[in-house]
Amino acid sequence: MTKKTHIAVGIALTLPLLSVLPKYVFIGLIGSVTPDFDLYTLGLIKHRTLTHSLLALMTVTIIAMVFNFNIGMIFGYNYAIHLLLDSCTKTGVPLLYPFRKKYYGLKLIKTGEGADLFICLIAAYLILTIIKF
């Protein structure tokens, strides 16, 4: 999925939680794009390997929860949404990396094409509906 789709879906699925935790919306945005940090590490980590695994999800969520439970939960929730979305792409995600390098997922959607854009538009519609723009 593209970054805009990850952000839009992350916001759409986090907004209902904001009535309880409104000050953590920015944490949700960060969590929704963190797995793609590997794109910006100057080739040190291959894209969609370690950062797209359950090991990374659990590690960063637990670390965040040590500092603040609510921040950790929102961050981990959005990180997991990112992995779920990427598991729907043709590549899938290596959930068990580094122990097993197989890529899992539905593998139905090609990143950046029509279905990806459609998901982004649905998320944008949900955002506007939720905030009654």
Find tokens 């590549």 and name the residue. Answer: 91
Residues 112 and 58: their CA atoms lie apart, in Å, by 28
Looking at the predicted structure, is the pLDDT value of residue 97 above 90?
yes
Give the per-residue pLDDT at 24: 76
Tens of pLDDT, residue by residue over 43-64, are 677 888 899 999 999 999 999 9
Find tokens 């598991």 and name the residue. Answer: 87
Q: How many domains does the chain have?
A: 1
Looking at the predicted structure, is the pLDDT value of residue 125 above 80?
yes
> DSSP labels for the chain?
--HHHHHHHHHHHHGGGGGT-GGGHHHHHHHHHGGGGGGGSTTSS-TTSGGGSHHHHHHHHHHHHHH-HHHHHHHHHHHHHHHHHHHTBSS-B-TTTTT----BS---B-TTSHHHHHHHHHHHHHHHHHHT-
Q: Which domain holds residue 25?
A: 3-131
